[in-house]
Homo-oligomer: A and B are copies of this chain.
Amino acid sequence: MILIDYRDTRPIYEQVVDKFKMLILRGVLHPNDKIPSVRNLAVDLSINPNTIQRAYAELERQGYIFTVKGRGNFVADNKQLLDQYKDQLFASLRELCEAAFAVGMTEEEIIQNIKGGKAHD
């Protein structure tokens, strides 16, 4: 269902969280879909069940999934998630723009880059 990139320096549990977030946000996984059990996914990815549990706990904390003891974990029906995620992207975007302005780049330069790919200089 997902794949771990061992060249990635980020913690495994963080990668697992992000992968599921994207699957849910992009509509690959639908509300009430069952996601793999902690033990099952751990075997699949050849990592420790505790690491998966940590990822799932974080996903639940952020409202992406909900847990039923003895039954499993399921995709939540939370319509605010996409907007939340977009807001986070916008925040990162503005942070990046601030850094760019700080070294003298202009709004036009940035927009041009977004539009035109790597066309600058």
Contacts and interface: CB of A to CB of B under 8 A. Distances in A.
B96 A93 contact: yes
Given A94-B113, A113-B94, A114-B111, A89 B100 contact: yes
Given A93-B113, A96-B96, A114-B97, A86 B105 contact: yes
A110 B90 CA distance: 8
Interface residues of A, number: 29
Interface of A: 22, 25-26, 82-83, 85-86, 89-90, 92-94, 96-97, 99-100, 102-103, 105, 107, 110-111, 113-115, 117-118, 120-121
Given A107-B115, A111-B111, 9 more contacts: A25-B103, A26-B102, A89-B100, A90-B118, A92-B96, A93-B96, A97-B114, A110-B114, A111-B114
